[in-house]
Structure 1
Amino acid sequence: MTQNQINQSAWAEKWPAPAKLNLMLRITGQRSDGYHLLQTVFQFIELCDWITFHPVDDGRVSLQKPIPGVPEADDLIIRAAKLLKAETGCEQGVRIEVEKNLPMGGGLGGGSSDAATTLVVLNALWGLQLSMEKLMELGLTLGADVPVFVYGYSSWAEGVGEKLERIDIPEQWFVVIKPNCHVDTKEVFLSKDLTRNSKSIRIADFIAGQHQNDCLGVVRERYQSVKDALVDLSEFSEARLTGTGACVFAQFDSEEAAVSAYRSLQKKWQVYLVKGVNESPLFSKLKSGNIS
C-alpha cells in the first residue's frame, strides 16, 4: 500500500482524543507573569472523543457541527487546524466532525485533547512532516495541557505543565464522577487560599504514595457538588480531584471492585467506569499502520 493510499484510508477513520487524569498536582511556585509552577502526573484513560477529518477543495477549515454557544473561531479544534496552516503555509482545507463524549469543564482535558488529535492527525494527513517537538511547541500556545496529548504517554510534568518525562504507572481501573457544575480554573488559581509553596518532590515520592492535589481544598469548599461527590466516592476508595475539577476519581485494584462502585454511584451521579492506560489511544491507533 502506498503512502497516498494510507492517507486516503485514514481520512475515513475516526481518531480518538482521549481523556486524562491528574494523579497528583502540586503547586511549587509562581512566575512573574502569574503562571503557576506545577508538578503533576498525567495518565490517559479509555474515554475518548472521536474526530473524523473530511478533505475539502476550497482550503477552508470548519466544523461539521459547531458547539452551541461557542463561536467556531474560538474552538480549539479550529484554532489548532488554522495554526498548522499558518505555520506551514499549507493550502489544504478540512471539515472536522466531532463525536463528543468527554464532559466539558470536568478537568479531563477534552478541549486540549481534541486540539492535540487535530494537530497530530492533520500533520500526517496533510503531509506536513512537523516533528513531535514542534507540534508540542505549537500545542502549548493553545493550552498548557495540549503538549501531553501530543506527547502521547503517561508523564511526569513540571514547569507550567510543558516539561514532560515519560513515566510508567500501573494501568488500573478508575471510577470517575462528573458533578453537575463547571469549575472556574482561573478563579481557583487566583484564590488567596490556594497553596502555592508546596515542596517539590521526585517521581519516587509519587510512586511511594504522595499524590496530593493542591487545588482540592479550594475547589471542595467552593463547589458543594464536588464536595458531595468526594464524600460519596470515598465510601469505595480514596476519592481524588483531577486538575481543578470538577471531576473526581478513585482508583481500584480490580475491575470487579470498580464495577461494584460504578453501579452503586450511577443511581445518583454522572459516572464513568474506565481503565487507565500509559499509551494514548491515539498513538495506539497510529501504530496500527493506518497513517504515518
Structure 2
Amino acid sequence: MTPDVTARSALRLPAPAKLNLFLHVIGRREDGKHLLQSIFTLVSLADEIDLVVRSDDRIVRTGDLLCCAEDDLCTRAARALKTAAGRPELGANISVQKRIPAGAGLGGGSSDAATTLIGLNRLWELDFSRAELMKIGETLGADVPFFIWGRSGFVEGIGERISSFEIPQAEYEILWPGKGVSTAEIFRSPNLTRNTESLKMSVFSKSIQDNWPDLPGRNDLQPVAENVEPLIAQALEALKRLGLRPRMTGSGSAVFAVTGRQGPALGDLPSNWRHFRVRSLHEHPLCGWMN
C-alpha cells in the first residue's frame, strides 16, 4: 500500500502492523517500566488514516474509535506535535479505518499515532526530522518510535533503543482469536519472569542466519497471556495442527507463524476470529518522507 496524496491539504495514509519475532523481558527499572529485547518487523496488514487540514485549531477524530476521541492516541499525537512545534493554531481532521485488531499485540494504536505524526508533519509543513518525531513518539507509547523508525529493528530498553536488523523476506499466518488482552495486566502479573539473559544483537542475527525460518528466543509474555486468555492457546494449537511453529506477538492476543508462499489451509474457524496472510515489509511505506 502506498500513500495517496489527494490534495495539498489532505492525505490518505497506511499504518502497518508489526510482529515481535521474539520478546524477552530482561529486567525492570525503578519506575516500574520493563526492560526488553525484541526483534520487530513490519507486515502488510495496515489501518488507513485520512488526514485533512482544518482552518481552525481543532483536532477532530472520527472513524473507528476504541475509546473517547479526546483520549485516542491519534488525537494525542496531533496535540503533541502542535505543542512541540509551538503552533497552537494548527488543526486537523483525523479519520481511522481499523483493520488491525485491538489488544492483539500487533501495534495498531501505536502505528496509527506514528502515521498521524508523519502525515501531519508534512501537511503542516513542520519539517521535524525522523529523530525529532521519534522523541515525540516516546511520550505517546513504547512502540511509536519503532513505526517512525520505519524498518525491521532490534529493540531494547523500554522500546526507545532501535538498531537496524536484517530479516529474510517472509510470509506469515496471523490468527486473532476474537478477543484482546490488556498489556498492562500482562506486565503486572506476578507470574511474569523478568530475568531473561540479555544477549548481544549478533547472537540473534546468527541464529536467524543459521536457523531461519525457525525463530530465535521466545515470548516471555506468552505463558502469562495464555493463562489470562485461554483462547490464545487455542489459536496457537490451530497453527500447530498445520505443522507450523507459532508464537504470540507482543502481549497478545494474536499469534503468528512463518509459512510458505502459498500458505496452508486453515479450515473453519470460529466466526469472531480473524485470519490474515501477510508479507513482511522491508520498510514503512512512509519511510522516505523523512530522509
TM-score between the two structures when normalised by the length of structure 2? 0.89
1:267, distance to aligned residue in structure 2 (A): 6.6
Structure 2 residue aligned with 1:205? 203
Please state if 1:248 is matched with 2:255: yes
Deviations 1:246-281 (A, max 9, x none): 0000111x211x2x23x4265764110100112112
Amino acid at match of 1:87: A
C-alpha separation between the residues in 2 aligned to 1:204 and 1:134?
28
Q: Please list, as runs of the form range in 1=range in 2, the aligned pairs for 1:1-292 lying within 5 A after superposition.
A: 9=7, 11-65=9-63, 67=65, 70-90=67-87, 91-207=89-205, 208=207, 209-236=215-242, 237-252=244-259, 254-256=260-262, 258=263, 260-261=264-265, 263-264=266-267, 266=269, 269-283=273-287, 286=289
Structure 1 residues 248, 53: closer, same or farther in 2, change over 3 A? same
Question: Identity of counterpart residues, as a percentage?
Answer: 39
1:14, distance to aligned residue in structure 2 (A): 1.5
Bigger helix share: 1
Structure 1 residues 267, 8: closer, same or farther in 2, change over 3 A? closer
In the alignment, is the contact (CA less than 8 A) between 1:18 and 1:282 conserved in 2? Answer: no
Amino acid at match of 2:37: Q
1:147, distance to aligned residue in structure 2 (A): 0.2
Runs of 4+ displaced beyond 3 Å: 6-13, 265-269
Deviations 1:29-68 (A, max 9, x none): 1101111100011000001111111121112111133626
Where 1:264 maps in the other structure, the secondary structure is coil
C-alpha separation between the residues in 1 aligned to 2:63 and 2:203?
45
Deviations 1:95-144 (A, max 9, x none): 11211111111111111000000111111111111111111111011000
Where 1:13 maps in the other structure, the secondary structure is strand
Structure 1 residues 174, 187: closer, same or farther in 2, change over 3 A? same
Amino acid at match of 2:77: A
Give the root-mean-square deviation of aligned CA atoms.
2.0
1:169, distance to aligned residue in structure 2 (A): 0.4
- Number of residue-to-residue matches in the alignment: 277
Deviations 1:190-232 (A, max 9, x none): 1111110000122233231423111111111221100111111
TM-score between the two structures when normalised by the length of structure 1? 0.89
1:283, distance to aligned residue in structure 2 (A): 2.2
Structure 1 residues 7, 275: closer, same or farther in 2, change over 3 A? closer
Unpaired segments of 5 or more residues in structure 1?
1-5
C-alpha separation between the residues in 2 aligned to 1:57 and 1:213?
47
C-alpha separation between the residues in 1 aligned to 2:268 and 2:40?
25
